[in-house]
Amino acid sequence: MLSSELISSIIPTPNLSDINAGELENDISIIINWIKLFPQPIAEPTLRVKSAVKSVLKDESSQFQFTKLLNNSINENFQLEGFHMDGMNICPDELQGADLATVISRVINTKRFYDNLLISLNLNLSTSCLNLYKKNINKNFKLLIGEEVFLAKIYTYFDENFLRLNSFHDFNIILMLQFFEAIEMKNELNQILINILIKKIKFYINENFKLAWSVPILHTLNNFIEHQIYSNIDFVLKSLHLSIDMNDLIKIGYNELISLRINEIYSIIIDYPKSEISLVELNRCLNFQNSDNFDPNIEFYQRNKLVENFSDNVNKNLLNAGINTINLIKTYIKIIKSFLILDPKGVLLDKVIRPVRKYLKTRDDIINKLVLGLLNKEPELVELSRELQNTEKSFKLFKNFDELNDLNWVPDPIDALPDFKKFKINDIIQSLISIFDSKEIFIVEFTKLFGNKMINSEEDLSVILKMINLLKLRFGKNEFFNLDIMVKDFINSRSNRGMVDSTNLNCLILSHLYWSDIIETPSFTLHPSLLLTFQAYNEMYKRENFNRFLKIIPNFGTVKLSLEGKSYNVPLDKASVILMFHDNNEPVSVASISETLNMSEYFTNKILEFWVSEGILLKITPQLYASNE
């Protein structure tokens, strides 16, 4: 309550120089008395009051002083007792406990009362005085309403009534909006609204899009934001003259989706190619830029987080002894393909793939599996051979190597690691090969593999040649010189075949230095009759190729035998053993066979057992065998 003591302590009488001291005392006390009638509904001021007001507030400076005076009393009033309403004082504590709607309508009424106060006094105050007064009132209300607890209540209210926000017939909502307008807390309301929207969007995304990797969802999300979120607050925004950019809302949605996907990233990539669409959409989310407030830090954070999360999962789930090499390679391929969708520049891929490469190098069977995969001998790794057939790609790859002369050269992306090489990782085969510092190790493996195929006549030469040509495109033409020599041996031997058709011997003649990985030291000598045939062939060869002779490699090759009317196609060791029984009905001892053929007894026994199982030989004693006639 205003008191005369208070007023005189603030405004010392001598300062009101233009006013007669006696009259002034009188007039002010009349006004004070009149104002004291607060908070009762203000009656029309009496003529006396009016004239008192007129005489006190003659000029602007005294009007200012009066306003300040009034403000001070109101401030004190607020601090002491809360605000007045319907003749009652409501203190802040009570406000917080009360029902929101009641509080709001009370606040609005009270606010109206204070707003009307000066007008109803009809004081003819200047505009600046009115503004000063209004500002002060607003400040007081803000202090009162701006409490966290109260804002939390507003938040809950809007949250619960979100779907009704657009129904402008709803009295409560209108009231609410008036309220915020009245106390000039539009910005606070805006903040509350945004928080609610974020919450709604987050909830929607987590509820609907978890594990939904195989279907496109961005369109659904955009629709949701536009038609169920944005249109709902449209009315509220318009009536408060606020604006929220649709694109900002979409960005919020996308960011939320991104963090959901970041948490799922490992499973998504394992699920590739089923999850391809979600990777495409994630890429779109990561690159979505809402017009003005694009923040590169967020993008940087998201990309980092993505790499971090994925690498953690890789370490935990992939790089351990429990995963077999084929699965490792398959996952490796998936990582390459899916990360190139996520980030076509390859920077993210470069970061996540490094530990996997390092680990793959430690697997003993990796080369073997890769080679089998490239040659389409490993059904699980068909992808590799398919990639190898893609000659267009390998052509491009070669071009990329020449970086210095590349007219379309662009610098590496800004977050790339120093030794970033795109061509090294975006091609699956190149990426796998470059795990090892030297290609040599692969070449050796290929050579061995093809050599074995040729020496055992397992594969058609045309197929082998086609494969070798494809490999040359990837590994370089000159890397396969050893294999070229082997192929030439093979072709030459074939043409020899026609030359010496007098015998029933076809000989594959090798340049032994280049087959050293394949041919082993012989474990036996041929049966004399076979040796004889070979000698004859050798003589023929010597006649054709001066100063060269042949050495038989008994561990390879096959002999077609006719035995008891049946024909057998057997290796040379089996043929040599059975030839010991040719024209011989006497039992033959294991020891004598082993001596003649320079074969270990254990091995001899094994072969004898084979012929016994075929019904050709009879085992008389463990040391004696005879033909089964």
Partner 1 sequence: MKVQVLEWNAVASWHWDLKVDDSGVADELCGICRVPFDGTCPSCKYPGTDCPLILGDGCTHNFHLHCILKWLEQDTSKGLCPMCRQVFVYKRIKNMGTSEELHNLQVLIEGHKAMRERENEENEFDSFEDDVRMTD
Binding positions for partner 1, rule: CB under 8 A: 455, 457, 481, 484-485, 488, 504-515, 519, 529-530, 533-534, 537, 541-542, 545-553, 556-564, 567, 572, 575, 578-579, 581-585, 616, 627, 629
On whether the CB atoms of residues 589 and 598 are closer than 8 A, the answer is no
Three-state DSSP class for 443?
helix
β-strand 88-90 against 617-621: which pairing, if any?
A: unpaired
> Nearest approach, Cβ of 613 to partner 1 (angstroms)?
17
Burial class (CB in 10 A: 0-12, 13-18, 19+), 36: exposed
Decide whether 47 or 513 has the Cβ nearer to partner 1.
513
Q: Give whole-number Cα distances, 27 to 31, 55, 108, 174, 292, in Å.
A: 6, 7, 32, 43, 59
Sequence-distant (6+) residues with CB within 8 A of 591 are 601, 623
Decide whether 332 or 534 has the Cβ nearer to partner 1.
534
- Spatial distance between the Cα atoms of 23 and 563, rounded to a whole number of angstroms: 150
Decide whether 304 or 492 has the Cβ nearer to partner 1.
492
> Nearest approach, Cβ of 503 to partner 1 (angstroms)?
8
DSSP codes, 166-232: T-TT-HHHHHHHHHHHHTT-HHHHHHHHHHHHHHHHHHHHHHHSTT--SS--HHHHHHIIIIIIIHH
Sequence-distant (6+) residues with CB within 8 A of 391 are 470, 473
Decide whether 41 or 476 has the Cβ nearer to partner 1.
476
> Nearest approach, Cβ of 505 to partner 1 (angstroms)?
5
Amino acid at the residue 535: Q
Amino acid at the residue 307: V
> Nearest approach, Cβ of 600 to partner 1 (angstroms)?
21
> Nearest approach, Cβ of 445 to partner 1 (angstroms)?
21
Three-state DSSP class for 343?
coil
Decide whether 70 or 552 has the Cβ nearer to partner 1.
552
On whether the CB atoms of residues 434 and 419 are closer than 8 A, the answer is no
Decide whether 227 or 560 has the Cβ nearer to partner 1.
560
Decide whether 262 or 575 has the Cβ nearer to partner 1.
575
Decide whether 194 or 519 has the Cβ nearer to partner 1.
519
> What is the CB neighbour count within 10 angstroms for residue 171?
9
Using alpha carbons, select from 590, 598, 597, 594 the residue that is nearest to residue 622. 590
Decide whether 224 or 450 has the Cβ nearer to partner 1.
450
> Nearest approach, Cβ of 542 to partner 1 (angstroms)?
8
- Spatial distance between the Cα atoms of 66 and 54, rounded to a whole number of angstroms: 12
- Spatial distance between the Cα atoms of 100 and 103, rounded to a whole number of angstroms: 5
On whether the CB atoms of residues 573 and 524 are closer than 8 A, the answer is yes
> Nearest approach, Cβ of 456 to partner 1 (angstroms)?
9
Three-state DSSP class for 468?
helix
> Nearest approach, Cβ of 464 to partner 1 (angstroms)?
17
Decide whether 206 or 492 has the Cβ nearer to partner 1.
492
Token duo for residue 535: 């000698």
> Nearest approach, Cβ of 363 to partner 1 (angstroms)?
33
> Nearest approach, Cβ of 468 to partner 1 (angstroms)?
15
Decide whether 238 or 488 has the Cβ nearer to partner 1.
488
> What is the CB neighbour count within 10 angstroms for residue 358?
11
> Nearest approach, Cβ of 566 to partner 1 (angstroms)?
11
Using alpha carbons, select from 368, 370, 358, 264 the residue that is nearest to residue 310. 264
108-128 per-residue burial string, b: 16 or more CB within 10 A, e: under 16: bebbebbbebbeebebebeee
Decide whether 315 or 529 has the Cβ nearer to partner 1.
529
Q: Give whole-number Cα distances, 343 to 215, 265, 282, 391, 566, in Å.
A: 20, 14, 10, 24, 66
> Nearest approach, Cβ of 545 to partner 1 (angstroms)?
7
Decide whether 130 or 485 has the Cβ nearer to partner 1.
485
> Nearest approach, Cβ of 572 to partner 1 (angstroms)?
8
Decide whether 238 or 494 has the Cβ nearer to partner 1.
494
- Spatial distance between the Cα atoms of 358 and 376, rounded to a whole number of angstroms: 25
Decide whether 136 or 596 has the Cβ nearer to partner 1.
596
> Nearest approach, Cβ of 358 to partner 1 (angstroms)?
37
> What is the CB neighbour count within 10 angstroms for residue 408?
4
Fill in the DSSP letter of residue 323.
Answer: S
> Nearest approach, Cβ of 485 to partner 1 (angstroms)?
6
- Tokens 């006639």 belong to residue: 629
Residues counted in the chain:
629
> Nearest approach, Cβ of 615 to partner 1 (angstroms)?
12
Decide whether 66 or 625 has the Cβ nearer to partner 1.
625
β-strand 88-90 against 588-589: which pairing, if any?
A: unpaired
